[in-house]
Amino acid sequence: MILLRHDCLVFKTSDGDFPFAAEQVTMEVIGDAIQFLDEETIKDASEAVLHYFKCELGKSTVTIGEFTIALERALRALGLTVQSSSSKPASSNFMPSNPRIVESDLSCLAPETDLTMELMFFSKLRTSLQELLVQGPDVVRFRGLRPCVKRMLKVRRWTNDCKCLNDQIVDYLRTCFGSERRTAACALVVS
């Protein structure tokens, strides 16, 4: 038996079962609408679907239909409007709703001194979120989480402490976002 690459799933087709990289299938399923999406969004959606099947469901073999449905959910979670076409079983039309996206770079908020400045970071983070929400966006996006964490902890490689601080920042943003957002349609993306 050949070991399947970590980023692949086996797809059941009418011609048999074939292994493909999840990101490759994601790009194929999205089709022409790919021009409206940035590369990072596609990668995030692909990784989410791959994780869902492999880790949460424990499956390595799926149908194109199962993959498409999971991909639709992942793209909706990223703030995109998804319109599936039942007349095209192997592909769907993913129409971005042209959401109004506002962004902030977490690395710019990270203190350069020592970890005792962590409280100042979280205060800046909340203030930044409030300023972004005032603009009435559909999506609030914070970029640079990993570089921010590594900068705050002054490490070059990802460690368990990095994972803890990473989770702490995401949890804090979710909590603040839940209490600060003014519209139910607004989404938060941290990458």
In this prediction, residue 81 carries a pLDDT of 58
Q: Which helix (H) or strand (E) holds 11?
A: strand 8-13
Q: What residues does 62 pair with on adjacent strands?
A: 11
Please determine, for residue 112, whether its predicted confidence score (pLDDT) is greater than 70: no
Query: Containing domain of residue 23, as a range?
Result: 8-94
Amino acid type, 33? A
Are both 89 and 108 inside the same structural domain?
no
Residue 157, SS3?
Answer: coil
What pLDDT does 84 receive? 46
119: tokens are: 């409280």
- The gap from C-alpha 116 to its chain's centroid, in whole angstroms, comes to 30
Give residue 19's pLDDT band: very low, low, confident or very high (50, 70, 90): confident
Do 39 and 115 lie in a common domain? no
Whole-prediction pTM: 0.52
For residue 22, the model assigns a pLDDT of 80
Q: Read off the pLDDT band of 183 (50, 70, 90).
A: low
Residue 51 lies in a domain: yes
Q: How far apart are CA 146 and CA 165, in angstroms?
A: 10
Contact 142, 170 (CB under 8 A): no
Tell me the pLDDT tens digit for each residue of 64-74.
Answer: 888 888 888 77
Look at the chain and report how many structural domains it folds into: 2
Tell whether 22 is covered by a domain.
yes
Q: 72, 94, 116 — which closes off a domain?
A: 94
